[in-house]
């Protein structure tokens, strides 16, 4: 007898053997037991999850010599013929190659004949979504009112392509992806009964690669067994399936967390030399960062499809960084994956995305940043000073600067709180010097102060600003008070007045040469004799 592949040898023969589809098998079993058998069924779901297998078991249960029964004997003539594909009452049709109107007409004409061996004529149409619209229309009438001995079972992986007129005439069953753990347990049962020596991690690798399809898992197991010569090891499975070594993925994550861009590039070089698919490498890295984030946020390892040998290492990595940074790493690497898919040089996109991720700093919550800004703001405020409401600037001339010996001698000598800067200035009320002092203390006002006019009268500092910049000056009012108090050595009240335009006194102050004029003077060694720029343009 010729060799029978694992996927066929281990195909379920009873509803209870179907993995991960209990919601479907229970309903079908109860329907057969109660005699509530529909005339048309529609099985939809991903590939390799048991749709066609369930259809064959249903056909055997309906035509079994002991039936109809939800547990066919698999030993009577009818059951053996259906299992071998030679039954005259069960027809398996490929919808992709029999999708024309003529094919469907032949089928509907044969429906009227009574079964020759069993109790029902069962028509299984696989990939039914491949039928043409005309073929679907030819099937409608027969599907709605078939003979009592005819049962239709449709299977499809693309349910959205099946017309609603067909859906409304069928009982629909949605098959789901098989959970990772159930696939792993099924593989464990197969290798145990086959007597194959194995590593548990190898089964995890195969189950993870199957992506919810048991048939794919069995095919991958067959391939790995051929490569490993009957000794199933994880290293052999990775080589047989062309998978990236998991140690490289962990190395990448460790380098990203340590912000080591050089180590990232070295690992990419190894992956390139080994001939790994770099797009697949990015995909695996994304899954790994997701696992790290899940562990960091929940601490629940049951949500991960990983062997026990990796869990401790994953936990250690998760403790080295925060969840916000892991989320940002995922976003950066995800963007890199999109670039690599479109790029003619995926390696370059891979490397650049890793460097961006490696040099990205720790992310802090917004609340903490706001708290730190508030603390920084309070540090600029002078103790004992109170905010003074902004008042319109009074139309008075600036006070004349006093000579050092006339400048509050009692205050300077008696008060120890006077700033050294104020002593050096001798209490001078020069508006330009005050403006420069405020710029040094409050860097965010450097640009707005360029168009502002400052006037000082006694203990009052008046600041005239453009209306569009009024908000920032009012926001920084307390800091301005602190800077003025430091400059003058005493408390000063601040008034802020907003105007539409500001004119400077051209008679008392020459216009400052622009940067281009300054460069010309410096390069050519000249000087400005006359500035003919118009002041109001």
Q: What is the CATH number of the domain that holds 25?
A: 3.40.50.300
The helix (run of H) or strand (run of E) holding residue 336 is helix 323-342
Question: What residues make up the domain containing 214?
Answer: 180-241
Task: Please say whether the beta carbons of 267 and 250 come within 8 A.
Answer: no
What is the residue-averaged pLDDT of the chain?
Answer: 81
Q: What is the pLDDT of residue 32?
A: 93
In sequence order, the 6+-apart residues with CB closer than 8 A to the CB of 365 are 324
The helix (run of H) or strand (run of E) holding residue 317 is helix 308-318
Bigger pLDDT: 503 vs 52: 52
Q: What is the pLDDT of residue 417?
A: 38
193 and 134 in a common domain: no
pLDDT (tens digit per residue) in 7-20: 888 999 999 999 98
Please state which of the ranges 182-186, 212-216, 283-287, 508-512 shows the lowest mean pLDDT.
Answer: 508-512
Give me the residue label for tokens 């051209």: 506
Could you tell me if residue 291 is inside a domain? yes
Q: What is the pLDDT of residue 393?
A: 41
- The reported pTM is 0.64
Q: What is the CATH number of the domain that holds 486?
A: 3.30.70.2210
349 and 284 in a common domain: yes
413 and 291 in a common domain: no
| Average pLDDT for 467-479 | 81
- Choosing from 131, 146, 174, the residue where a domain stops is 174
Could you tell me if residue 483 is inside a domain? yes
Could you tell me if residue 536 is inside a domain? no
pLDDT (tens digit per residue) in 337-391: 999 989 888 899 999 999 998 887 655 666 666 776 776 666 554 444 444 444 4
Residue 189 CA to residue 194 CA, distance in Å, equals 8
Q: What is the pLDDT of residue 418?
A: 38
Task: Please say whether the beta carbons of 95 and 127 come within 8 A.
Answer: yes
Give me the residue label for tokens 């109170």: 386
Q: What is the pLDDT of residue 123?
A: 94
Q: What is the distance of C-alpha 129 from the center of its chain?
A: 32
Tell which residue, 31, 18, 17, has the closest CA to residue 67. Answer: 31
Q: What is the pLDDT of residue 370?
A: 72
113 and 67 in a common domain: yes
Q: What is the pLDDT of residue 451?
A: 80
Task: Please say whether the beta carbons of 264 and 255 come within 8 A.
Answer: yes
pLDDT (tens digit per residue) in 300-341: 777 787 777 788 888 888 888 888 889 999 999 999 999 998
Q: What is the pLDDT of residue 154?
A: 95
66 and 113 in a common domain: yes
pLDDT (tens digit per residue) in 138-153: 999 899 888 999 999 9
- 390 φ, ψ to 5°? -65, 135
| Average pLDDT for 229-249 | 86
329 and 280 in a common domain: yes
pLDDT (tens digit per residue) in 82-110: 988 888 899 999 988 888 999 999 998 88
- Choosing from 140, 174, 208, the residue where a domain stops is 174
- Domain count of the fold of the chain: 4
155 and 85 in a common domain: yes
Q: What is the pLDDT of residue 490?
A: 86
Could you tell me if residue 516 is inside a domain? no
Q: What is the CATH number of the domain that holds 234?
A: 1.10.8.60
- 173 φ, ψ to 5°? -125, 120
- Widest CA span of the chain, in angstroms? 127
Burial code (b: 16+ CB inside 10 Å, e: under 16) for 149-187 equals bbbbbbbbbebeebeeebeebbbebebebbebeebbebb
252 and 235 in a common domain: no
Q: What is the pLDDT of residue 60?
A: 93
Kindly tell me if the per-residue pLDDT of 212 is higher than 60.
Answer: yes
137 and 23 in a common domain: yes
Kindly tell me if the per-residue pLDDT of 427 is higher than 50.
Answer: no
394 and 459 in a common domain: yes
Q: What is the CATH number of the domain that holds 292?
A: 1.20.272.10
Could you tell me if residue 506 is inside a domain? no
Could you tell me if residue 363 is inside a domain? no
Could you tell me if residue 448 is inside a domain? yes
| Average pLDDT for 247-266 | 91
- 367 φ, ψ to 5°? -60, -40
168 and 117 in a common domain: yes
Strands in 6-65 per DSSP E? 40-44
Q: What is the pLDDT of residue 365?
A: 62
Residue 528 pLDDT grade (very low, low, confident, very high; cuts 50, 70, 90)? low
Bigger pLDDT: 80 vs 393: 80
256 and 348 in a common domain: yes
Q: What is the pLDDT of residue 189?
A: 93
Task: Please say whether the beta carbons of 10 and 183 come within 8 A.
Answer: no
């Amino acid at each position: 007898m010729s060799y029978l592949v694992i996927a066929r040898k281990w195909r379920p023969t009873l509803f209870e053997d179907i993995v991960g589809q209990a919601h479907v098998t229970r309903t079908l079993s109860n329907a057969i037991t109660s005699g509530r058998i529909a005339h048309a069924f529609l099985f939809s779901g991903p590939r390799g999850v048991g749709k066609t297998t369930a259809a064959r078991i249903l056909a055997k249960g309906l035509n079994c010599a002991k039936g109809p029964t939800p547990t066919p004997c698999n030993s009577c003539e009818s059951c053996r013929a259906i299992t071998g594909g030679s039954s005259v009452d069960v027809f398996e049709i490929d919808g992709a190659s029999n999708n024309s109107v003529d094919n469907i007409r032949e089928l509907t004409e044969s429906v009227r004949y009574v079964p020759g061996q069993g109790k029902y004529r069962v028509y299984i149409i696989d990939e039914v979504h491949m039928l043409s619209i005309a073929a679907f229309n030819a099937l409608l009438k027969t599907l709605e009112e078939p003979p009592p001995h005819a049962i239709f079972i449709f299977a499809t992986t693309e349910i959205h392509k099946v017309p609603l007129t067909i859906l409304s005439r069928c009982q629909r069953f949605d098959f789901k992806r098989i959970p990772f753990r159930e696939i792993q347990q099924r593989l464990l049962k197969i290798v145990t009964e086959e007597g194959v020596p194995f590593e548990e991690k190898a089964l995890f690798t195969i189950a993870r690669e199957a992506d919810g399809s048991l048939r794919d898992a069995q095919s991958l197991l067959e391939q790995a067994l051929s490569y490993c010569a009957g000794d199933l090891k994880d290293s052999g499975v990775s080589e047989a399936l062309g998978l990236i070594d998991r140690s490289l993925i962990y190395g990448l994550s460790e380098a990203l967390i340590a912000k080591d861009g050089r180590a990232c590039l070295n690992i990419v070089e190894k992956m390139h030399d080994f001939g790994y698919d770099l797009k697949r490498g990015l995909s695996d890295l994304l899954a790994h960062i997701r696992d790290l984030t899940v562990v960091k946020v929940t601490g629940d390892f049951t949500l991960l499809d990983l062997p026990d040998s990796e869990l401790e290492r994953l936990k250690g990595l998760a403790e080295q960084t925060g969840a916000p940074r892991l989320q940002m790493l995922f976003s950066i690497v995800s963007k890199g994956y999109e670039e690599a898919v479109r790029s003619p040089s995926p390696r370059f996109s891979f490397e650049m995305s890793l460097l961006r991720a490696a040099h990205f700093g720790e992310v802090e919550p917004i609340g903490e940043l706001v708290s730190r800004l508030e603390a920084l703001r309070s540090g600029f405020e002078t103790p004992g000073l109170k905010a003074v409401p902004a008042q319109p600037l009074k139309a008075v001339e600036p006070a004349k600067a006093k000579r050092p010996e006339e400048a509050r001698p009692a205050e300077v000598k008696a008060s120890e709180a006077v700033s050294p800067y104020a002593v050096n200035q001798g209490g001078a009320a020069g508006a330009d010097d005050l403006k420069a002092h405020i710029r040094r203390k409050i860097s965010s006002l450097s640009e707005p102060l360029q168009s502002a006019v400052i006037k000082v009268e006694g203990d009052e500092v008046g600041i005239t600003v453009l209306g569009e910049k009024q908000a920032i000056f009012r926001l920084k009012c307390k800091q301005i008070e602190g800077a003025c108090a430091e400059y003058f050595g005493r408390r000063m009240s601040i008034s802020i007045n907003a105007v539409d335009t500001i004119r400077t006194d051209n008679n008392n102050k020459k216009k400052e040469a622009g940067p281009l004029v300054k460069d010309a003077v410096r390069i050519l060694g000249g000087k400005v004799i006359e500035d003919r720029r118009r002041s109001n343009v």
